[in-house]
Structure 1
C-alpha cells in the first residue's frame, strides 16, 4: 500500500468506521429518548441546546407527508449509490473514502430510527436569540461531514491533477 492510499479504500477499515459512527449515533439517541423530555430545550451553551423532537421526513422535515416506505427506499438507494461510488473511487483519494463511510453511517443511523420508532430522533439545536437552525442528530452530522470530505477530496484531487 503506497503512502497516498486511503486506508478506507479497503472494506475492513470502512466497515469499522461505519459501525463506530452508527453505534455513536444510536447510543446518543437512546440516551436522548431516556433522559430528555419531549420538545423542551435544555441549554448546553449560549448557542446550543438539546431539544428532543421527531422527524417524519428527511432533512429539514422535507417529505414529512411521504409514505415511510418511500423514504426507506430512497435512503437505501442512496446507500447503494454511495457504495457504488466508494468502489469506483481510486484508492489514492484520501478524503473521499472516509467521507463515503460517514454518509453511509448517517443514512444507516436514520434508517435504524425509521425501523425502530417510525420516525427519526433529532435533538441538536443551534440557535441565537433571534434565529434557530433545524434540529438534527449525529447521523445528520455524519452525512454533512462526509459530503464535505467528498467535496474537499474533489477540490484537492482537481488541484493536484491541474499541476
Structure 2
C-alpha cells in the first residue's frame, strides 16, 4: 500500500452547511441584502420613485422604477402567480446549492464571490416573494445606447460571477469547484 498524502480534503469529510469561510459568507450576504433592500425600500416607499421619477442623476444615469417579473435582463417574464412562485422556488434551490458550495470552498476569493451571488439572489428573492416582482431602478444610457435597468442585488450577482471567472482563469478551469 502506498502512503500518499493529499492536500485536498476527502469529499466525505467536507462540510455540508458550515465551513471554513461560512462566517465571512454570512456577513457578506447580510450586508449585501441590507444594502439592496434598504435602497429598494427607500426608493419605492420613502422617495416614492413611482410618482417622483424618473430622476436624472448624471447625463448617463437615471433612477427609474421597473417591476421585473422575470430573471436577469427581463428574460422569462412571469405574469402569473404560478410563474412567480416557480421563480421563487428556483431562487431558493439555487441559493441553497450555492451556500453548500460556499461551505465547501477552500479559497477566500471564491467564498466572497459566492457570498455576493447569494446576497444578490436573496435580495431579489425577497422582492419576488413579498412584492410579486423584483424592483429594478438603475438605468444607464448614452446616446442611442441603452443598458437594462438593474438593482444592487444584480450588481452583487455580476460581481460574484466575475470573481468566480477570475478565479477560474487564475487557478485553472476547475479551481472554483474545489
For residue 77 of structure 2, what is the aligned residue in structure 1?
Answer: 64
Match 2:167 to one of 146, 153, 161: 153
Gaps of 5+ in 2: 1-18
Relative to 1, partners in 2 of residues 1:125 and 1:29: Cα closer, same or farther, differing over 3 Å? same
For residue 123 of structure 2, what is the aligned residue in structure 1?
Answer: 109
> Pairwise mapping of residues 116-155 of structure 1 onto structure 2 (< 5 A)?
116-155=130-169
Report the 3-state secondary structure (helix = DSSP H, G, I; strand = E; otherwise coil) of the residue aligned with 2:50: coil
Cα RMSD (Å) of the superposition?
A: 2.0
Alignment length, in residue pairs?
151
How much does 1:38 deviate? 2.1
- Show CA shifts across 1:74-123 (max 9, x none): 11121122122223322xx2311100000000000011111221111000
Aligned equivalents of 2:34, 2:100: Cα separation in 1: 23
> Pairwise mapping of residues 32-71 of structure 1 onto structure 2 (< 5 A)?
32-34=43-45, 35-38=47-50, 40-65=53-78, 67-71=83-87
Q: Does 1:27 align with 2:38?
A: yes
| Length-normalised TM-score, structure 2 | 0.78
- Contact 1:36-1:51 within 8 A present in 2 as well: no
| Length-normalised TM-score, structure 1 | 0.85
